[in-house]
Amino acid sequence: MGQDTPGPGPGPAVAAATPPVPGEGRTRRGVRVAIGALLLGMLLAALDQTIVSTALPTIVSDLGGLEHLSWVVTAYMLASTAATPLWGKLGDQYGRKKLFQTAIVIFLIGSALCGLARNMPELIGFRALQGLGGGGLMVLSMAIVGDIVPPRDRGRYQGLFGAVFGGSSVLGPLLGGLFVDHLSWRWVFYVNLPIGVVALGVIAAVLHIPAHRTRHRIDYLGTALIAAVATCLVLMTSLGGTTYPWVSWQIIGLGVLGVALVVPFVLVERRAEEPVLPLGLFRIRTFSLCSVIGFVVGFAMFGSMTYLPTFLQVVQGVSPTLSGVHMLPMVAGMLISSVGSGQIVSRTGRYKAFPIAGTAVMTIGLLLLHRLTPTISATETGLYFFVFGFGLGLVMQVLVLIVQNAVAYENLGVATSGATFFRSIGASFGVSVFGTIFANSLGPRITDALAGTPLPPGVTPGGLQADPRAVNRLPPAQRAGVLDAYSASITDVFLYAVPPALVAFALAWLLKEQPLRGSVTAPDTSEVLSSNPVERSSRDECARALSLLGSREGRRRVYEKITERAGLDLQPAASWMMLRIHRDGHAEPSLLAERMDIPLRVITGAARQLEERGLADRLGIPLVLTEEGRRQAGLLFAVREEMLAELLGDWWTAKDRPHDLVALVHELNRELCGSDAEQPHDGDMRPDHRLP
């Protein structure tokens, strides 16, 4: 390790010289309560990505404006996507606790107003307000974890936030359906209020964050310009052919304005000290390819998840709750393939096959969804949903991994957020374009289906398009024709998504497979399932991955490995205990056995070996290290640090190794060596035990 890797020094001296770290001075209960409140905040934002989908058909029936259904989703996505980088920088600069509380309040006000909305324009505006708060909940809740949890535990706790995303993907559609069936669609938004109030109270009472600030030159103008570009283009695609003709001055003007704003955005980003989207990233071929593929994945994923509940409820006549149940195969396929592909890549180091296979299966899934009919069986529908979700999952997690593996350490954080930003923008475009195609084809098809037949009093083709529930007032023959019109209009959108999916498939072949760094084999679930861009610094990304990998390694008998590499003839449990004594200055074997899930015979055997080898002495009841024990502990410490550093690949071996990366590895190593997170196993004490 050279001079960058000092040994830990004597235990008490190390403790005195070590600077305060996140989590120091906090009780375990206090941290857990604070994490629980942060999880509630994250749950609010994560649920709002999925809970609305099964309620949308009922919402548009009550408020009218089926042609603007997409904007209930798009307004939230655009606002939260644009706000995410601002919340992250403002939190660094002015303190995350107050900003997080502000985000909760904005989100709750938006939720209450959404529940009170009297028409579609009001609901769309209030959803945008809700999205502004939702972006803050996403980025700040995960950032605060880094303030209150030491690096060694960061991966484990942030894994809980990933679990919230996975759970919300399953629960969101079900809860949305249950509220619509048994209460009202307005409770999709009102449910946020009690959860948010509890989170606010707990945060105010127990969350105490160290008072440190990081100054930023926030790129307000760049953020405003990229949000304006996206809004203009999404408005053009959603209003074209519905509210205004495609050749109208309004639609042409929106397109021209959106393209024209790209020029000042590029100029601003070139001069910004901290650009919201560094243009230099696009010189990295892998980043550019993954951004386009991610855009298409977001396009297909969120567009489909928005309109499939409409097909299920209107065309097949299932209840909102059951439509949520019918969506589960898609979510299951997505989660299974996402987790499975991540595991395979972690073990093999090979990743190129997954985006190729994922985009191919996603394309097949879109073609299968195009085959949906009013009379198709639930089993066949579930199979089609599963295939489509499986394809999405194969590519989603691996794209994040590929981007992280392709960039230098200093660009790790911004490249991750950039790649997920394009997936978020793709999601907004997908919902918008799917909505436009659906609305443009539905009206003429309903008119053709009812041509030459008398309609019941009060029923018009326009009314049937605005209120899907009016279909039930038609005679059976007419109802079948209108349902066919709805079915064909919805399933056609999947056919239009096939060409972009084929483009993504072709681009996936152009990705170059590079040796995989160990530290990028653990993408966070929030980086995979969220519709918001991820906003973390390079150091935070590395700390999360290393702590997660470190804890996994700990479960794989890490002390056998470091003992062998240090050239010492010790039981792994003895090495662990020696490092623990070295860190704390002393240890009482009986207390260790009581506090930890380690058999007493393992603890006493380790203590006996240290005493017999002259590495530790009794000072009454506690054990303290001898001079030779401190020397061997220093060897173990250095080897453990080497093992952590090896996970970083060329980020660590580069001549201009970043200082904050060196400091992070030192800090993690101090915390992990001899810690509760890395405990020797019962089997480690068997004389005949060998490395697998």
Checking if the pLDDT of 525 tops 70, the result is no
Rounded to whole angstroms, how far apart are CA atoms 76 and 452? 42
Locate tokens 């235990």: which residue? 11
Checking if the pLDDT of 148 tops 80, the result is no
Q: Which amino acid is at 562?
A: I
**For the chain, how many residues are written?**
692
Task: Please give the angle made by the CA atoms of 611, 617 and 618, to the nearest 5 degrees.
Answer: 110
Checking if the pLDDT of 381 tops 80, the result is yes
The answer to whether the Cα torsion of 305, 310, 313, 319 is positive or negative is positive
- Where are any strands of DSSP class E within 274-423? none
Checking if the pLDDT of 9 tops 60, the result is no
Determine the pLDDT at residue 113. Answer: 92
Which range has the top average pLDDT, 3-7, 238-242, 369-373?
369-373
Res. 590 pLDDT band, cuts 50 70 90? confident
Lowest mean pLDDT among 2-16, 358-372, 577-591: 2-16
Instruction: Say if residue 409 is exposed, middle or buried (CB neighbours under 10 Å; 0-12, 13-18, 19+).
Output: buried
Checking if the pLDDT of 677 tops 80, the result is no
Confirm if 662 and 4 have CB atoms less than 8 A apart: yes
Confirm if 651 and 644 have CB atoms less than 8 A apart: no
* pTM given for the model: 0.77
Determine the pLDDT at residue 16. Answer: 34
Res. 589 pLDDT band, cuts 50 70 90? confident
Percent pLDDT > 90 in the chain is: 2
Checking if the pLDDT of 184 tops 70, the result is yes
Mean pLDDT of 110-127: 86
Rounded to whole angstroms, how far apart are CA atoms 626 and 660? 33
Checking if the pLDDT of 473 tops 80, the result is no
Res. 232 pLDDT band, cuts 50 70 90? confident
Q: Is 1 helix (H, G, I), strand (E, B) or coil?
A: coil
Alpha helices in 451-531 (DSSP H): 461-466, 476-496, 498-508, 526-529
Checking if the pLDDT of 343 tops 70, the result is yes
CA–CA distances in Å: residue 156 to residues 32, 77, 151, 645: 12, 28, 10, 19
Confirm if 483 and 374 have CB atoms less than 8 A apart: yes
Rounded to whole angstroms, how far apart are CA atoms 148 and 391? 37
Which range has the top average pLDDT, 66-80, 311-325, 373-387, 402-416?
373-387
Give the phi and the psi of residue 142 in degrees, each rounded to 5.
Answer: -75, -30
Checking if the pLDDT of 151 tops 70, the result is no
How confident is the model over 601-627, as pLDDT tens digits? Answer: 777 888 888 888 888 888 777 878 888
Two tokens at 127?
A: 């959803």
Q: Which amino acid is at 488?
A: A
Question: pLDDT higher for 366 or 182?
Answer: 366
Res. 231 pLDDT band, cuts 50 70 90? confident
Confirm if 252 and 302 have CB atoms less than 8 A apart: no
Res. 12 pLDDT band, cuts 50 70 90? very low
Lowest mean pLDDT among 293-297, 396-400, 533-537: 533-537
Checking if the pLDDT of 371 tops 80, the result is yes
Checking if the pLDDT of 26 tops 60, the result is no
Give the phi and the psi of residue 625 in degrees, each rounded to 5.
Answer: -80, 145
Q: What is the mean pLDDT of the chain?
A: 76
Q: Which amino acid is at 54?
A: T
CA–CA distances in Å: residue 406 to residues 281, 285, 514, 517: 10, 9, 8, 10
Q: What is the dihedral of CA 89, 90, 93, 96, to 10 degrees?
A: -110
How confident is the model over 185-214, as pLDDT tens digits? Answer: 888 888 888 888 888 888 877 777 665 566
Res. 361 pLDDT band, cuts 50 70 90? very high
DSSP 8-state assignment for residue 244: B
Mean pLDDT of 621-649: 82
Checking if the pLDDT of 684 tops 50, the result is no
Determine the pLDDT at residue 609. Answer: 83
Checking if the pLDDT of 370 tops 60, the result is yes
Rounded to whole angstroms, how far apart are CA atoms 342 and 619? 49
Checking if the pLDDT of 62 tops 50, the result is yes
Checking if the pLDDT of 76 tops 50, the result is yes
Determine the pLDDT at residue 687. Answer: 40
How confident is the model over 418-467, as pLDDT tens digits? Answer: 777 888 888 888 888 888 888 778 778 877 777 767 767 766 777 666 66
Res. 689 pLDDT band, cuts 50 70 90? very low
Question: pLDDT higher for 552 or 61?
Answer: 61
Rounded to whole angstroms, how far apart are CA atoms 475 and 38? 52
Task: Compute the half-sphere exposure of residue 327: CA atoms within 13 Å on the CB side of its CA.
Answer: 33
